[in-house]
Amino acid sequence: MNALLAAILGALFSAALPGVGWWPLALVLVPLFVLIAQSSSARGAFSLGFWFAVAFFGLYLLWLPTSFATLFSPAAWVIYPPLLLILGVFWGLVTGLSRWLGGLGAGTLALLPALWLLMEWLRTQGYFAFPWGVLGYLWVGTPVAQLAEVLGVYGLSLLTLALIALLALPWVRRGQSLRALFGAALLLGAAWGYGLFREGMPLPETPYQALLVQGDTDPLGRAIGAENDLEVYLRLTRWALADGANPQLIVWPESVVMGPPLESPAAHGALQQIQAVVGEIPLVTGVSAVTGTIRFNSVYSLQGRAVLSRYDKVYLVPFGERWPLIEQLPNLYRTVFSWFGLPMLLNTSPGQAVTPLQSPVGLIGAYICYESVFPQVARQMVAQGAQVLLNISNDAWFGLGRGAQQHFLMGSLRAIETRRYLLRAGNDGITAVIDPLGRVQAALPRGGQASLSGHFALMEGYTPYVRLGDRWLLAVALYALLVPLLRIRKP
């Protein structure tokens, strides 16, 4: 019965995070924490976390099999249940370990936020990193999100977990009701008040204009090399400039240009076409740069025919841009791809370092698609001097579900963490300009060919989050180790 209740709570919680965004539904975590703290065993606590996560992700990631179906047809649904089971194990380990190390009652509540947070961070590391479902994103669109300039998204997660633990405490330990509720109210009130104060701060004038172009082209045709989108983007840019747009920067989305690296002589024709339309206006564009069997997902800064700088995507999409062991098992992959009518897909090579782009406008922190949900990417760009953030993407893969909206809203928090304007150009959207307070200043609806002229400013200075990053997580890890040693656990 408790496992069923945990699953119901997980299903409800899926509506709290970006996509639906009913953040008060995070309160369903209170009964979950109470159930875990009062569970008769660590095994029972594991079951609660497992079924909560399976139900939560089962609804929250419902767009995922639809996305993979673009390449792999309905067979993509076969991989969905195993993914949910893996995610369920992550949460089950957190809740089970919290109960085992913390003991029955308040000790578990003391340990659960720390272990939950460490699990969130670990899920975003390594080859199969997948940052969807990070708790801190539920504050996007509220004043509390402004605290991200100090704590980052993981700090917002810890704030949330601390609030939930305080609200659960009166149900676990008698005589703590007034103190716990006062602590929770004080914590939330301080966070909300800080956010309201920061939202009232004036922003500088926005002297620069960017032209963001949205071509709405077929992602599958691009992936298998059947289409080159350059002509579409040249036409849309030509129309926008003819209609009176006077930008200091033009931005095209991910992988608009396909072919050899733009530094190579073989790309001279493409650069000539671009200059004929753009002239000397600085352009930032996505390029799928292929040399033989080596491919990079890149973003280039151009002016005229000159390549000013280039950044190669570092954080690649598992089973989208890189395929585990494909070099060791090429025949197996070739057979699988052929079942779905696909040619042999290349592994995308990761870039070597996160670095901003040089541009006549200034230093641009440009990153690609999936990288927008890794806060360390934008932070490292700004720490190296980036004055404006730029995210190019191709969200057409998400299909009609909530994935694209989730992706956009999670990425918008990078503007607050770094206090930079964020320019976003998506193949089918969401194309937008976001200010340093995380507010959308201008946007195009998803789908359809269009261009957006938006204004921005170059920002200076570093937020506490840019300076310190997530180093404070080490203190959380130390706390998680010390709690059992200090005998919070009870027999």
Whether cis (ω within 30° of 0) applies to the bond prior to 430 is yes
Domains of the chain, earliest start first: 2-200+470-485 (no CATH), 208-315+350-458 (3.60.110.10)
Q: Is the pLDDT higher at 322 or at 416?
A: 416
Which of 137-151, 172-186, 243-257, 335-349 has the weakest average pLDDT? 335-349
Name, of 329-338, 417-426, 478-487, the range with top average pLDDT: 417-426
Q: What is the pLDDT of residues 446-474, one digit of tens each?
A: 989 999 999 999 999 999 999 999 988 87
Sign of the CA dihedral with 59 first, then 61, 67, and 69 last: negative
Is 155 a residue whose pLDDT tops 90?
A: yes
- pLDDT given at position 398: 79
Q: What is the pLDDT of residues 112-137, one digit of tens each?
A: 999 999 899 988 888 888 899 999 99
- pLDDT given at position 317: 87
- pLDDT given at position 107: 86
Residue type present at position 334 = R
Give the DSSP letter of residue 345. Answer: P
- Side-chain half-sphere of 247: how many Cα atoms within 13 Å? 27
Residue 478 CB contacts under 8 Å (≥ 6 apart), including other chains: none
The secondary structure of the chain in percent helix, strand, coil, rounded to multiples of 5, reads 50, 15, 35
Is 345 a residue whose pLDDT tops 80?
A: no
Is 223 a residue whose pLDDT tops 60?
A: no
- pLDDT given at position 491: 47
- pLDDT given at position 218: 80
Q: What average pLDDT does the structure give for the chain? A: 90
- pLDDT given at position 477: 78
Q: What is the pLDDT of residues 44-100, one digit of tens each?
A: 999 999 999 999 999 999 988 877 666 556 666 777 888 899 999 999 999 999 999
Which of 138-147, 226-235, 302-311, 319-328 has the weakest average pLDDT? 319-328
Instruction: Tell me whether strands 364-368 and 306-312 are parallel, antiparallel or unpaired.
Output: unpaired
Residue keyed to tokens 């992988």: 255
pLDDT category at 487 given cuts 50, 70, 90 is low
**Taking the mean position of all CA atoms in its chain, how far away is CA 361?**
26
Q: What is the pLDDT of residues 166-192, one digit of tens each?
A: 999 999 888 778 899 999 999 999 999
Backbone angles phi, psi at 306, to 5 degrees: -90, 135
Q: Smallest Cα–Cα separation from 7: which of 54, 42, 61?
A: 54
Give the DSSP letter of residue 435. Answer: -
- pLDDT given at position 177: 82
The count of residues in the chain is 491
C-alpha dihedral, 317 to 321 to 327 to 333, nearest 10°: 100
Which of 210-224, 378-392, 423-437 has the weakest average pLDDT? 210-224
Q: What does 124-151 look like in DSSP terms, one character per residue?
A: TSSTT---TT-GGGGGTTSGGGGGHHHH
Q: What is the pLDDT of residues 295-308, one digit of tens each?
A: 899 999 999 999 99
Which of 213-222, 251-260, 424-433, 477-486 has the weakest average pLDDT? 477-486
Give the DSSP letter of residue 319. Answer: T
- pLDDT given at position 489: 47
Instruction: Give mean pLDDT, residues 272-288.
Output: 97
- pLDDT given at position 320: 74
Instruction: Give mean pLDDT, residues 184-212.
Output: 96
- pLDDT given at position 175: 74
